[in-house]
Chains A and B, each alone.
Chain A
Amino acid sequence: GAGVSQSPSNKVTEKGKDVELRCDPISGHTALYWYRQSLGQGLEFLIYFQGNSAPDKSGLPSDRFSAERTGGSVSTLTIQRTQQEDSAVYLCASSPSGYTDTQYFGPGTRLTVL
Chain B
Amino acid sequence: DQQVKQNSPSLSVQEGRISILNCDYTNSMFDYFLWYKKYPAEGPTFLISISSIKDKNEDGRFTVFLNKSAKHLSLHIVPSQPGDSAVYFCACLGAGSYQLTFGKGTKLSVIP
Q: Which residues of A contact B104 (CB under 8 A)?
A: 40-42
> In the complex, which residues of chain B have a beta carbon less than 8 angstroms from the beta carbon of A50?
98
Q: How large is the interface on B (under 10, 10 to 19, 20 to 34, 35 or more residues)?
A: 20 to 34
A103 beta carbon closer than 8 Å to chain B: yes
- Specify which chain B residues have a CB less than 8 angstroms from the CB of A44 in the assembled complex: 102
Instruction: Give A33 to B102 CA distance when docked, in angstroms.
Output: 14
In this assembly, does B60 line the interface, its C-beta being within 8 Å of a C-beta of chain A? no
Proximity bits, A87-104, B CB within 8 Å = 1, else 0? 000010100001110111
Are A45 and B96 in touch, CB under 8 angstroms? Answer: no
Write the chain A residue with the least CB distance to B103. Answer: A42
- Which residues does chain A contribute within 8 Å of B91, judged by CB atoms? 43
Chain B residues with Cβ under 8 A from A91's Cβ? 43-44
CA distance A7 to B97 in the complex (A): 28
Is A105 touching B98 in the complex (CB atoms < 8 A)? no
Q: A40-B104, A59-B99 are contacts. A106–B32 as well, Cβ < 8 Å?
A: no
Residues of B82-112 contacting chain A, CB below 8 A: 89, 91, 93, 96-105
Q: How many residues of A contact B (CB 8 A)?
A: 27
Interface check A4, CB cutoff 8 A: yes
A70 vs B44: C-alpha distance when bound (angstroms): 25
Partner of A99 from the list B34, B46, B98 (CB cut-off 8 Å) is B98
Q: Is A48 among interface residues, defined by CB-CB distance under 8 A? A: yes
When A100-B32, A100-B93, A102-B49 are in contact, do A45 and B44 touch as well, CB less than 8 Å? no
Partner-A contacts on B (CB < 8 A): 4, 6, 32, 34, 36, 41-46, 49, 89, 91, 93, 96-105
Shortest 8 CB-CB distances between A and B: which pairs?
A105-B43, A42-B102, A43-B102, A42-B104, A102-B46, A45-B99, A105-B44, A98-B98
Known contacts A99-B96, A100-B32, then 18 further A-B pairs from the complex at CB < 8 Å, ordered by chain A residue? A31-B98, A33-B100, A42-B4, A42-B102, A43-B44, A45-B100, A98-B98, A99-B97, A99-B98, A102-B34, A102-B46, A103-B46, A104-B45, A104-B46, A105-B43, A107-B42, A107-B43, A108-B41
